[in-house]
Amino acid sequence: MFETIFGGISGLLGSVITSIVSYKTQKLKNEHDIAMADIELKKMDKEKEIMLAEAEANIRITEVETEAKIELADADVFKESIKAAQEKALSDKVHEMLLKGGRFSRIVAAFVAFLFGIVDFIKRMIRPSLTLYLVGLTTWITYIAWKIMETHNQQLTGKQATDIFDQVITIVIYLTVTCVTWWFGDRRMAKFLMRLNDGNIKDQSDLRKKTSSPSIPMM
């Protein structure tokens, strides 16, 4: 009798212990699965962040490359404009051909060289003349705005004159910076163009002296 009761209790206790162990095991397995799922989610989030960062970096690289191409194109245009500005209206070869002729041909060569020299002078003076004109014009407008601010003319209020004065000051500063940077860039580009062929400024100067036209004899 006692053995039967004890055996039943032992079997029931073993079943309870087995159930508890199975429950704990399943709980640990579930926790492990949840932890692994969290790790996978975090990994996916990290990969997503990396992909977004790579995409942003690629976009930035593309923008920089595009800006660089635009800058190079602007530099090429600037270089061509400098070349065009430095080209003579009358080539040295044509001048030499005229000088090789007779006296009348040399007279024509001198006259043509003089006329084309005037053309070259006008062409070279267009940009500085335009610069001086713009600076003078903005200075004159600034002076008028300043006088209006002093007299308080009824046709224009003091605030309007002040706005005009501020705008013109901004324009003057912009024009000044543009002119200075343009002239310095012009000189640097001119030196660069002289180095394009031989890489030596002195050699270019000697070459121009050797190929320069002979002086026209006095009649």
Give residues with Cβ within 8 angstroms of 164, minimum separation 6: 141, 145, 148
The pLDDT of residue 103 is 67
Integer angstrom CA distances of residue 162 from 77, 143, 146, 169: 39, 12, 8, 10
Nearest to 176 by CA among 144, 147, 136: 136
Structure tokens at 200: 């030596």
Give the predicted TM-score (pTM) of the model.
Answer: 0.35
Phi, psi dihedrals of residue 195, rounded to the nearest 5°: -95, 0
The pLDDT of residue 208 is 44
The pLDDT of residue 81 is 67
Mean pLDDT, consecutive 10-residue stretches, the chain (219 aa), reads 56 67 79 84 85 88 85 73 63 62 68 74 76 78 72 64 76 71 57 48 44 39
The pLDDT of residue 215 is 40
State the Cα–Cα distance between residues 13 and 131, nearest whole angstrom.
105
The pLDDT of residue 197 is 46
Phi, psi dihedrals of residue 199, rounded to the nearest 5°: 80, 15
State the Cα–Cα distance between residues 146 and 161, nearest whole angstrom.
7
State the Cα–Cα distance between residues 119 and 90, nearest whole angstrom.
9
Do 159 and 171 meet the contact criterion of CB atoms below 8 Å apart?
Answer: no
State the Cα–Cα distance between residues 144 and 161, nearest whole angstrom.
9
Structure tokens at 188: 């640097």
Structure tokens at 156: 């224009």
State the Cα–Cα distance between residues 120 and 115, nearest whole angstrom.
9
Structure tokens at 160: 């309007």
